[in-house]
Structure 1
Amino acid sequence: MSTLAGAFRRYPVVAAAILVGLLGLPLWALGLPVAVQWLYSGLGLVVAGIEVVGMIRRMRQGAFGVDLLAIMAIIATILVGEYVATLVIVLMLSGGAALEDYAAGRAQRELNALLERAPQIAHLLRDGSSDVEDVPATLVQIGDVLLVRPAEIVPVDAELVSASAAFDESSLTGESLPVERRTGDPVLSGSINGQAAATVRATALAADSQYQQIVALVAEAAASKAPVVRLADRYAVPFTAVALLIGGIAWVVSGDPVRFAEVLVVATPCPLLLAAPVAFMGGMSRAARNGIIVKGGGVLEKLARARTVVFDKTGTLTYGAPTIARVAPEAPFSADQLLTLAASAEQYSSHVLAASVIAAADKRDLTLLRTDSATEVPAHGVTARFDGREVVVGKLSFVAEHAPDAYPADLAGGELAIYLAVDGRFAGCVVASDQVRDNARATVQALDRLGVHESVMLTGDARPTANHIARLVGITRVRADCLPVDKVDAVRAIRERPVIMVGDGVNDAPVLAVADVGIAMGAKGSTAASESADAVILLDDLSRAARAVSIGRDTVRIALQSIWLGMAMSLALMVVAAFGLIPATIGALLQELVDLATILNALRAIGGRRDTRARRAAARVQTAAQPVPTR
């Protein structure tokens, strides 16, 4: 009941039309048709007055919609005594506006999501002592020494005081691999500390730090978005002009002003008012069934017209988690032997890549060795002994101290090597990388077939990594070494618009907000990215970005078909009414049939059959791709 009451308060004209309509029924039953006429006509005049005020306001802003024709249709039905038609037009007018408002409503909670994650507390070390005092991050001054505990967020921009530490900066720069920092290196606010506590010295106030700048960018980008023009308004001027022309000619030729009213009765703009909102709501429902939350009908319209798609790399084109790409052993070790030794030693490491090495060994069903002893040097590596053999695992510089013959691996972009030495001799390396999604290239190709011919990749990674990934997925335009502000500037500079941005993580929140259509990979992405976006992919499936564009194109096509269908049927009725062959009462009923046909056609945007056929086709392709079992 509270939800219904809230809807009535939000749409008072709809509520009034329903209540007045219900009130008229007992009056009619009591044999008081005059009272019903005055009641319905009075409501029509009130609504017409409201629409006149709104029309004047919009015309001052340079906008012209279907308001004039709606007002004239209401007045015309009142003049010819078709008060039931008056009520129907009022209900359709206000109901269509409510549907459109509901379909176009967009959540505006991105700033709240960012602020909830923003660092609130800092652990202050007083005068170089070990005593820790918790203070609000906003009170931290430049030069203050702070303790950042394991897995905590760095509260302000700072420089590292500890000898070394590893930080996860993926939410800021998009780099999926942990970044090693040494004494004096800069540490960004919003980055996450690794497994060991670190000491940092503040170099900026909270308000001037990297994370808070991201918050400000989201606010600026979201506020700069232009409002979406209603699809129906594009056809309002010619439709209104044609209706008035036909009605005026009928009046002049016949000399009867009733002809003019009869024409306007069948020329009510209900098809224009209802076709687009109903189609867009159907498209949004279809998108939701496909794991895509679309925040408004205007988003579907922009998706349908998109010309450029921009991708983030980490977590979007790639899986966002480092995995073992290959094992490069030195004689006499085999790949399995080297991986077994690496995983056995990494059991005693807190480094983030240790889990990837152990998982790779487990995937190969390798049995890990029991150690006699193990020692970890944080951020450098592990020294362990197995059955009298000394195994050293870690960075090249660390391993080279024990094995002078160690040499750097030949790495592709985005790769990181874990080196091994056994009994003072170099044994090889294990290479980790962030793998490209299996369907990334197919998604780019699908978008190209849908008319989105320009593709761009923006990433915080180095250019060799970015170029390598771009070649794999078929993207030709690349911008690397990007901070969030660089991504925003790059998207704003693109000329081929509308622009779709597909991203994930807090660092993508500003650029998702400034793009014409921001699509967030919400399955693993941050809340801030999801709230900044116009559409959120709930499944960890990049191909849904192309599905969203396809749904947008289908929805707009059906909406336009419905609009043209309604206008064509109304035009035919107007011509017939101009000859006096359709009385106003019959015209109102026929107009409702036009509305029904328009709505039924617009409901095709729900697309149940199309999605079923698509799923069956995908299943057939998947079945055909599976190997045939042999005996």
Structure 2
Amino acid sequence: MTRIARLARRYWVVTLTLGIGLVGIVLALAGAGWLVQWLFSVYALAVAVWQGVGMVRQMAQGRFGLDILAITAIVATVLVGEYVAALLVVLMLTGGDALEDYANRRAKRELDALLTRAPQFAHLVVDGGYQEVPVDQVRVGDALLVRPSEIVPVDGVLISARGAFDQASITGESIPVEKTTGDEVLSGSVNGQEAVELRATSTAASSQYQQIVALVAQAAESKAPVVRLADRYAVPFTVFSLALGAVAWWASGDPVRFAEVLVLATPCPLLIAAPVAFIGGMSRGARNSIIVKSGGVLEQLARARTAVFDKTGTLTYGAPALSAVRPQPPFDADELLAAVASAEQYSSHVLAASFIRAAKDRGLELREAASAQEAATNGVVAEIDGREVVVGKFAFVAEHAPDAVRTAIAPGELAVYVAIGGRYAGALLASDRLRENAAATLRELSALGVTNTMMLTGDARETAEHIAAELGITNVRAECLPADKVAEVAGIAERPVIMVGDGVNDAPVLAAADVGIAMGAKGATAASESADAVILVDDIHGVARAVRIGTDTVRIALQSIWLGIVVSVVLMVIAAFGFIPATAGALIQELVDLATILAALRAIGGRLDAREATEPRAGPFAPATPSSSSG
């Protein structure tokens, strides 16, 4: 009952119109029919004037709308004495606005869910206690308490020994993630069942969740080009409707026929269908961890013909992993890897974590070093179990082991050389692995009409061509600077062009493309204003999913528009021959409006996502198709 009262207050004009109708019924039963005619007619004309003022203001801003049809229908029905039909047209007009607003609110649920969950306060650790402060007052380095089931207010690192966090709204992971001291904790994550302390590493404004919220707010306020195109249908549709009504009046000699035609000339398919569909499409994207900044992006995605990819962090994982261990006798593979991992514990190099993880995966014991020193850009030297272990570039290792020899590497690989106790001990090979579902994503894009693909990268040509060959990409540009990437995208003939990058060095080319998509799971790219869409999970399949959502949204928007137009035209033609009275026509038109809105709401995509989930497809939403890679 409370919800009904809230809706009645929100859509007070509809409530007033229904109230006027009920009063009219009471008066008619009391035998005051003449008063009903005056009540309905005066109220209908008052609404027509009110709507007319709004229409004039829109026209002054260069926007020609379809309200003129409804206003003309109200005036015409009053003049010919069809006052009941006049009130029904008022209900159609005000009810259409209310249905549009309600449908938009329904469509934006997933977008609004992110906005309403944004943390507002944080528990600051002060003098052995805790003080609640606004989240925007948190500074880097502050210690914070996060209570059970609370949302983490800012990005930080865990101080407590351990904790479990639900990161579903950030990364899409459905299972809570276990964290230990020193691990990164993203804002927007939901703490588990134990209170934990963390140290802030970002302010609220620069934290992951707030960046996502900013993108959502921007997305929620957009209007797609196809919506403006729908507005332009107003001129021919209005002219056709008025002309048909005039011909019906002229042919029959009855002015009532003009009113009967106009009450069926609904503006709702054009005014409502496209906005509702596009907001539904953005809502569907948000539910699938894809933030689309504007409805216009969905239209561009639906029409896209070319997809351009960065390599590192996009088509590959961006984190080189151990691919081979090549020991030099008398050393064996386990001994070599254990020594390297033990030494790399004291290195900040990007490969250190990969070697340590590989050693632990093999169950190898890591030793502590008596001393360790890192030589910037060259390698690390550590004393382990009384022996000097040197790990790094060939020239650096050769200084400590003159018998060192270079090892053969394939395109896309790099070698790390090792000396133990002054002797050359072998080499470890690492490569940036191709994403398992990259090839499947490209195939799906091709099926969706994005048939032209290109890879742009700053890497060496041999490495780039090796990755491209595995994926079947024939158009490759390597050793590119940011300006080179922009020039390449600008010169592509098959448009619109999608550019996909990790957002670190790709901001210029993301802005230059028709649609820039940032892989934003790692946080930095979520704030990139140069991207038109951000994929919140570390999964390239989101690109194909974004194109599919765009295609479905545009298709549903146009279907809904033409459904309403065709039905309205058919009904108007029937009314022109006098087979649909004005009152009946107004009632029928309400059903047409409702059908149009319901058709547009399909873009929210619940059934589409359910059907897609049953199809074999790569990504975290369905089993991935493995793809082997050596680099």
What is the 5 A alignment of 1:275-354? 275-354=273-352
Q: How does 1:63-462 map to 2 (within 5 A)?
A: 66=66, 68-80=68-80, 81=83, 82-91=85-94, 94=97, 228-230=225-227, 231-233=229-231, 235-462=233-460
Residues in 2 aligned to 1:507 and 1:596: alpha-carbon distance in whole angstroms = 48
Q: Residue by residue, what CA displacement relative to the aligned partner does 1:454-489 show, whole Å, maximum 9, x if unpaired?
A: 112223333333222222222222233334444334
Shift of 1:237: 4.4
The CA deviation at 1:345 is 1.8
Q: Hey, what's the Cα distance between the residues in 2 that align with 1:391 and 1:57? A: 75
Cα 1:516/1:67, change in 2 over 3 Å = farther
Alpha-carbon deviation of 1:393? 1.2
Shift of 1:401: 0.7
SS of residue paired to 1:345: helix
| Counterpart Cα distance in 2 of 1:417 and 1:439 | 26
Given that 1:66 and 1:236 are in contact with CA atoms closer than 8 Å, whether structure 2 keeps it comes out as yes
Cα pair 2:69 2:238 within 8 Å, conserved = yes
**Structure 1 range deviating more: 552-561 or 91-100:** 91-100
Matched, 1:47 2:51: yes
2:41 is equivalent to residue 37 of structure 1:
yes
Change (3 A) 1:53 1:315: same
Deviates more, 1:260-269 or 1:41-50: 41-50
In 2, the alpha carbon distance for the partners of 1:92 and 1:296 equals: 27
Deviations along 1:123-153, one digit per CA (max 9) or x if unpaired, are xxxxxxxxxxxxxxxxxxxxxxxxxxxxxxx
Where do 1:413-562 residues align within 5 Å?
413-527=411-525, 529-562=527-560
**Structure-2 change in CA distance of 1:23 and 1:532 (3 Å):** farther
- C-alpha spacing 1:77/1:405, structure 2 compared with 1 (3 Å): farther
Give, in whole Å, the separation in 1 of the partners of 2:480 and 2:79: 65
Aligned length: 498
Aligned 8 A contact 2:499 2:515 in 1: yes
- How far is the alpha carbon of 1:249 from its aligned partner? 1.8
Instruction: Note the alpha carbon deviations across 1:422-459, whole angstroms, 9 max, x for none.
Output: 23332221122322111111111100110011112223
Find the residue that maps to 2:433 and give its secondary structure: strand
1:506 and 1:528 in contact (8 A); partners too: no
2: CA distance, partners of 1:623 / 1:399: 44
Distance 2:251 2:11 in 1: 41
Q: Deviations over 1:77-124 (max 9, x none)?
A: 5544333234234325645876899889xx9xxxxxxxxxxxxxxxxx
Alignment CA distance shift 1:289-1:236 (3 Å): same
- Which letter maps to 2:43? L
TM-score (norm 1): 0.70
CA distance 1:435–1:228, shift in 2 (3 Å): same
Q: Runs of 5+ in structure 1 lacking a partner? A: 1-6, 108-221, 627-631
Compared CA separation, residues 415 and 525, structure 1 to 2 (3 A): farther
Using the alignment, how far apart are the partners of 2:67 and 2:549 within structure 1?
30
What letter matches 2:273 in structure 1? A
Task: Kindly state the Cα deviation for residue 572 of structure 1 after the two structures are TM-superposed.
Answer: 1.6
Comparing 508-517 with 425-434, greater Cα deviation is found at 508-517
Structure 2 runs not aligned, ≥5 long = 1-6, 28-34, 112-218, 627-631
- How has the CA–CA distance of structure 1 residues 304 and 96 changed in structure 2, closer, same or farther, with 3 Å as cutoff? farther
CA contact (8 A) 1:45 1:75 kept: no
1:577 is displaced (CA, Å) by 0.6
Farther off after superposition, 337-346 or 64-73:
64-73
Shift of 1:574: 0.6
| Mapped partners of 1:560, 1:480: distance in 2 | 41
Structure 1 Cα separation of the partners of residues 514 and 23 of structure 2: 52
Over 3 Å counting, the alpha-carbon distance change for 1:487 and 1:601 in structure 2 is same
| 1:41 partner amino acid | L
Normalised TM-score (structure 2): 0.70
Identity, % of aligned pairs? 59
| Structural RMSD (CA) | 3.8
Deviations 1:360-396 (A, max 9, x none): 1111211224545444334322233444443221122
Task: Find the residue that maps to 2:431 and give its secondary structure.
Answer: strand
Given that 1:340 and 1:366 are in contact with CA atoms closer than 8 Å, whether structure 2 keeps it comes out as yes
Structure 1 residue corresponding to 2:17, chosen from 5, 14, 21: 21
Aligned to 1:599: 597
Letter in 1 for 2:451: H
**Aligned partners of 2:564 and 2:593 also within 8 Å:** yes
d(CA) in 2 for partners of 1:357, 1:303: 40
CA distance in 2, matches of 1:593, 1:318: 52
Please give the secondary structure, in 1, of the residue aligned with 2:291: strand
Mark the CA change 1:526 to 1:373 in structure 2 (over 3 Å): closer, same or farther: closer
Contact 1:18 1:91 in 2 (8 A): yes
Residue pair 1:467, 1:478 contacting (<8 A) in 2 also: yes
